[in-house]
Amino acid sequence: MIAAPLALLLCSFAPAPPQDAAAAEEVTLVTFDPWQANIDRFESSVRKLGERDRKLYEAGGPPEGAVLLAGSSSVRLWMEGDVEEEMAPLPVVARGYGGARFSDFAYYADQLFAPHLTPGEPGAPVSAIALFVANDITGGAEAKPGDQTPEGAAAFVRHAIAVAHKMDADVPVALISVTPTPSRWAAWPRIAAFNAEMKRLADADDKVYFIDATAAYLKEDGTPNEALFRNDMLHQNDAGYAVWAKLLKSELTKILSEKG
């Protein structure tokens, strides 16, 4: 399903291993071994997000109807900024860690989702999940060593979706397109191919949505709008986040309205 263009409360919040073999059979099987060294780099980051969740739910949990916005550094920087104010009146819980790829996000998906989705536990479960992870494909026209193919990255996206739907079969999952950035513009054909793979996942599942924000970050000549990015030409500045907030609020509100 496509949104119009524009993105177990754990008994313990300590890190847990990914699903065991029996559980893995219930979700899309992927091979984590080739990516394990990179995955291990993020264990402490995921643990810190779990601590945020523990404190959030000890304080009563997020507002009813909140959306879990999870992903890589663009989410992390917003999480440390004014995301709640900029996304109002739509309540959000932002959870991001720098450098995230879907290969590690999928590995930790049970820990990242569980506090917000487990049925029957204290705290308001989130009403939807929105995912933005932008580091699977980088470099220039040619792939860098360690880059995913568009299809390979999509397999891990599918795994993350399956983990969410194993916890809550009805939760909408919105896949936010990877943004066209000046610093990675040479890699855009491969990034666009990955966006197309995510769109295909949404087309095949009525609980999955694709939010295409590409056009909002391009100038009339079809190249990235530098005015929306920080000096690194990779991460959004305040103007960029204002664009994102407007589009995400609009599309997520439509998704929640459809959910009923």
Is the pLDDT at 68 greater than 80, yes or no? yes
Least confident of 2-6, 126-130, 184-188, 243-247: 2-6
Binned at pLDDT 50, 70 and 90, residue 27 comes out as low
Q: What is the mean pLDDT of residues 12-22?
A: 38
Q: What is the 3-state secondary structure (H, E, C) of the chain?
A: CEECCCCCCCCCCCCCCCCCHHHHCCCCCCCCHHHHHHHHCCHHHHHHHHHHHHHHHHCCCCCCCCEEEEECHHHHHHHCCCHHHHHCCCCEEEEECCCCCHHHHHHCHHHHHHHHHCCCCCCCCCCEEEEECCCCCCCCCCCCCCCCCHHHHHHHHHHHHHHHHHHCCCCCEEEECCCCCHHHHHHHHHHHHHHHHHHHHHHCCCCEEEECCHHHHECCCCCECHHHECCCCCCECHHHHHHHHHHHHHHHHHHHHHHC
pLDDT at position 113 over 70: yes
pLDDT in tens, 124-170: 689 999 999 999 999 888 887 778 999 999 999 999 999 999 999 99
**pLDDT reported for residue 123:** 65
The pLDDT of residue 224: 98
Average pLDDT for 245-253: 98
Token output for 179: 């943004």
Gap between the Cα atoms of 88 and 239, Å rounded: 16
Can you give the pLDDT at residue 119?
74
Q: For residue 257, count other CB atoms closer than 10 A to its CB.
A: 8
The confidence score (pLDDT) of residue 140 equals: 82
Tell which CATH architecture fits domain 2-259: 3-Layer(aba) Sandwich (3.40)
Looking at residue 121, what is its pLDDT? 64
> Cα dist. 65→118, 184, 233 in Å?
15, 35, 34
pLDDT in tens, 39-52: 999 999 999 999 99
For the residues 76-95, what does the mean pLDDT come to?
A: 97
pLDDT for position 118:
79
pLDDT confidence bin for 58, thresholds 50/70/90: very high
What's the chain's length in residues? 260
List the one residue out of 167, 61, 83, 65 whose CA is nearest residue 132.
83
